[in-house]
Chain A
Amino acid sequence: MAESSISIRGVSKSFGATQAVRNLDLEVPRGSLCGFLGPNGAGKSTTIRMIMSIIYPDSGDITVLGGSTLGNKDRIGFLPEERGLYRKMRVGEFLEFMGHLKGVRGNVRKIASDWLTRLELPGVYDKRCQELSKGMQQKVQVLASVIHNPDLIILDEPFSGLDPVNAAVLSRTIRELHAEGKTIIFSTHVLQQAEELCERIFLINHGVKLLDATMTEIRQRFDPRTIVVEPMTPNGDFRDVPGVLSSRPLSQSHLFELSLEPGADPQRVMQAIASRTAIRSVELRRPTLSDVFVQLVMKDQGEAAARQASEELTTEPAWLAGASSSLDEVIP
């Protein structure tokens, strides 16, 4: 196994009667780009705070970059979920201050200026933080977390509050940092972003790890073996196509979902469909993380819990209000 940047073994954390994290094991391989997923209150931020030694686990061990977080703080870039800026401070001064706190050596001013250009924030160096838009502020915060060129980057909900354009800039930056060899782990509850970016996924719910696998492994393991067909005419009966187990129309569309028989070759089935019927499209359905999550939670806690957790994950949550008191809520 590749050397781990973060190694979590048997970690549990309770706040009063509420168990936020239960016996969690996690290995973040060095140089990987990982997504840390889960609905609100799943224990993501608590885990990240424990990784950062902001709070301490009740039991278990956490090793970061082969040692303790406190000993390696200058090698870690961390964007917390609860983040902000000194409103009256100028952007450049804030970045220089954060650079000094994170042990940057050399010309901090130049490093900060270069990063501002890279994140498409030219001309804001001398502006006060309060003069920036929310999206720009968030990019400054991301910049502050990586200004010291860390080996390990931990981003807690980096995309929340960003418009699509800024989200794309951030995605590109994350990919670039990953290409430079950094280990990156970011938490999100928007599954599509994780699917697009990550090579490894950790899924957590109610403090328990449900999934820990690479995207390739997930696609193999959770292959739905389903083909979606859109015929040219609304009517379609595909049950007699060899290899098709069942067919059902999808609501509010002309699409049909065909389940394959065990052992059937999807390629051949699609060819058979195309040769028999005039079709607009045919595709092999890939498992989405949402499907995977629902499946896992359903197995663990039943269908109702799975649906509820899935909704929390896929809809844009009011995270600002909910997550801001995550510690406070659980300490009686």
Chain B
Amino acid sequence: MNKVLWIAWREFKHTALTKAFILAAIFIPIMIVGMIFLLGPLLKPRIAPLKGTLVVAASDPEITLGVIREMDPDRIRERQELSRERREKAFGAEAESKMMNPGAAMAEVLRLPSIHVKVEAADADADLEVLKDQVRAGELLAVAVVRDDALVSEQTPATNGYDLFVASDSAPNHTTLFEDALADAIVGVRVGRVGLNIENTRSLLRRPEANTRRVSEDGGEASENVAAKMIIPMAFMTLLWIATFTSGNYLLTSTIEEKSNKVMEVLLSAVSPLQLMTGKLLGQAGVSFILLAMYGGLGIAALIASAMMDLVPMIHLVYLLIFFIMGFFMVAALMAGVGSAVSELREAQSLITPVMMLLMIPLILWLPITENPNGALATVTSYIPPLIPFVMMLRVTAASEPVPLWQILSSIVVGYIWMFIMIWMCAKIFRVGVLMYGKPPTPLELLRWIRYR
């Protein structure tokens, strides 16, 4: 076997086939996914059983009747379903929720506890203090006082409310239950007073569903999918980032370890610095690919399981591979360069900070680039190393309307040219750095090393 391959194999074996790696890289993600699947439904808030009396003090008996209707378990279920839909629309989380747990929505509706609330009416001029004492004593669940001015059609914020008195130990979701029932009952009375039917009005007020489709220049149409537009690019970019950054970090520490253990020159007695660096890069590329395949495979398995594979066209996986190779070698070149220049891990901090800041940029730019994948920011950062692979991954997966092919091709060409330049610079630094001990170099000195014969 070639010497470079022996180095690569040692690097791979002592990184990926260790207890620490298997624990950190395999079991922890599996545990996280397992927790999401198993603990997710269990951790969802549930309402404790509710039994007792709610007193509604109002001059209009319709209010009490309305509250009785609204406290019916079927109506409560309906209301919860509506609020879930509203929430999902606001966060664009429909697909995500289904992806993570397809049965969750159904389980949420079915998991209503037994609610046996007796609603009693009281006169508007009933002694409120007596009722409140009963709440304190636990004889009543709550007392609601609805004034007449809450029922008129023209209201100010001051007159729009009602008073609700609950025990100090009342559960927040029980209080919400009363609040929702009362609010809907009051609205029902208001609507009834102007001669309308509340059920009809409710269905009239339901916002219509949008079926947005983007029409492209070539005459095709593509559905607008919030999840595909926002979550998928983030997932791809994070996948790329984690795979390259984790193995880059391993490369940094293993290079520093070889220097601090003083095994470096022993190795250089058998191989050239370039062979050593190439072997190390290849070994860590293997580690990185394992991470990519493992996490990516998990993601694809989840998509297939939830029949959402159509969100990820095959070309995206091809792009992932192209930009993974580019991204890994860019990050690895930076890490190997820094690792070879310092003698101890703590000395690496000053040199690694700018690299880290640079690599954090794609994470910060996720939202603006995803929202506007063909904008100026996205286009410019597509040609700046080492951002190219990360930004392009965001762009090619984000745009419902495709990124112009010439931009994809040119950024791949520019990216790979930069990748080779970075590896070349790293090799120059590596060659000098591995033999240097003592004070860590400044960035300016690193530049001198590149020119050093």
Contact = CB atoms under 8 A, between A and B. Distances in A.
A250 to B, nearest CB: 44
A324 B262 CA distance: 10
Interface in B1-17: 1, 3, 6-7, 10, 14
A83 B3 contact: no
A80 B437 contact: no
Interface string A311-332: 0000000000000110111010
B77 to A, nearest CB: 60
A84 interface: yes
Contacts of B265: 54, 80-83
A85 interface: yes
Contact of A86 (B1, B7, B263): B263
Contacts of B7: 101
A109 to B, nearest CB: 15
Nearest to B5: A100
A327 B261 contact: no
Interface in A80-108: 80-89, 97-98, 100-103
A97 to B, nearest CB: 6
A59 B261 CA distance: 32
Nearest to A94: B263
Nearest to B268: A54
A294 interface: no
Contacts, number: 78
Contact of A84 (B1, B10, B263, B439): B263
B435 interface: yes
B272 A101 contact: no
The winner among A80, A89, A102, A103 for most chain B CB atoms within 10 A is A80
Given A89-B14, A324-B437, A324-B438, A73 B270 contact: yes
Interface residues of A, number: 37
Contacts of A88: 14
Interface string B1-44: 10100110010001000000000000000000000000000000
Contact of A98 (B14, B261, B266, B272): B266
A329 B270 contact: no
B269 interface: yes
B7 to A, nearest CB: 7
B269 A80 contact: yes
Contacts of A82: 262, 264-265, 435, 437
The winner among A84, A89, A101 for most chain B CB atoms within 10 A is A101
Interface in B245-271: 257-258, 261-271
A96 B268 CA distance: 16
A131 to B, nearest CB: 14
B397 to A, nearest CB: 40
A325 B438 contact: yes
A289 interface: no
Given A56-B453, A324-B438, A85 B269 contact: no
A97 B271 CA distance: 12
Interface string A93-136: 00001101111000000000000000000000000000000000
B128 interface: no
B436 interface: yes
Contacts of B435: 49, 54-55, 82, 327
Give the bracket for the number of chain B residues in contact with chain A.
20 to 34
Contact of A328 (B3, B14, B263, B437): B437
B263 A102 contact: no
Contacts of B14: 86, 88-89
A202 interface: no
Given A52-B269, A100-B3, A83 B262 contact: yes
A98 B270 contact: yes
A107 B342 CA distance: 37
B267 A101 contact: yes
Interface in A273-297: none
A141 B261 CA distance: 12
A204 interface: no
A73 B270 CA distance: 6
A83 B272 contact: no
Interface in B409-453: 435-439, 453
Contact of B436 (A77, A97, A100, A328): A328
The winner among B3, B262, B263, B269 for most chain A CB atoms within 10 A is B269
B341 to A, nearest CB: 11
A79 B10 CA distance: 21
A328 B438 contact: yes
Contacts of A328: 436-439
The winner among B10, B266, B439 for most chain A CB atoms within 10 A is B266
B430 to A, nearest CB: 13
Nearest to A154: B269
A80 B267 CA distance: 10
B269 A78 contact: yes
Interface of B: 1, 3, 6-7, 10, 14, 257-258, 261-272, 435-439, 453
18 contacts: A54-B435, A70-B272, A76-B269, A77-B269, A80-B265, A80-B266, A82-B264, A83-B266, A85-B261, A86-B261, A100-B3, A100-B6, A101-B7, A103-B3, A144-B266, A324-B438, A327-B437, A328-B439
Interface of A: 49, 52-56, 70, 73, 76-89, 97-98, 100-103, 141, 144-145, 324-325, 327-329, 331
Given A141-B266, A327-B435, 15 more contacts: A53-B272, A54-B268, A54-B435, A77-B269, A80-B265, A82-B264, A83-B265, A86-B257, A97-B10, A98-B266, A100-B1, A101-B270, A144-B266, A145-B269, A327-B437
Name the 8 nearest CB pairs between A and B, nearest first. A84-B262, A78-B269, A80-B265, A101-B270, A325-B438, A328-B438, A84-B261, A84-B263
